[in-house]
């Protein structure tokens, strides 16, 4: 007498092997999704940092030695802010109004990734003719 089909033991072993494979696959997929979300926030922050740096470099009256702060546009889907300052980088020995100098703009962008605060730092350079208010730095550096 010949019987066809699988025994209960064979079905249980096959089910166990399939369950292990599916669990491993879902675990890997979950980790990939978390990493993709984190990278997306970092990409958005980098984009906003570059945009903010461009805006700072284009400002004709960007003060020297003063810390400037702002909030990132929430429409981009990221909660955070920025802090920047313009400092002398290269200047001739006689620094007076009307002299061309090279300044460095330091920008730090921060954002929240879950409960962790992340940061991204950029530096930009700009040349400018000094004005009288640029020659004497502000009291609070």
Nearest CA-CA partner of 78 in 33, 109, 102: 109
pTM surpassing 0.75? no
- pLDDT for 115 equals 87
Per-domain residue ranges of the chain: 8-135
Percent of the chain with pLDDT over 90: 39
pLDDT, tens only, 35-46: 776 668 888 888
Do residues 110 and 117 touch, judged by C-beta distance below 8 A?
Answer: yes
CATH architecture, domain defined by 8-135: 2-Layer Sandwich (3.30)
- On the question of pLDDT at 126 being above 80, the answer is yes
Nearest CA-CA partner of 124 in 70, 94, 96, 84: 84
- On the question of pLDDT at 2 being above 70, the answer is no
């Amino acid at each position: 007498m010949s019987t066809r089909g699988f025994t209960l033991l064979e079905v249980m072993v096959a089910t166990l092997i399939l369950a292990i494979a599916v669990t491993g696959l879902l675990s890997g997929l979950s980790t990939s999704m978390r990493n993709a979300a984190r990278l997306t926030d970092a990409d958005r922050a980098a984009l906003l940092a570059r945009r903010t740096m461009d805006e700072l470099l284009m400002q004709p009256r960007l003060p020297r030695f003063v810390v400037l702060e702002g909030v990132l546009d929430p429409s981009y889907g990221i909660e955070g802010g920025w802090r920047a300052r313009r400092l002398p980088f290269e200047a001739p020995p006689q620094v007076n109004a009307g002299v061309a100098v090279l300044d460095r703009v330091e920008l730090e962008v921060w954002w929240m990734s879950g409960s962790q605060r992340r940061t991204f730092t950029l530096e930009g350079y700009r040349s400018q003719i000094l004005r009288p208010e640029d020659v004497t730095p502000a009291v609070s550096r």
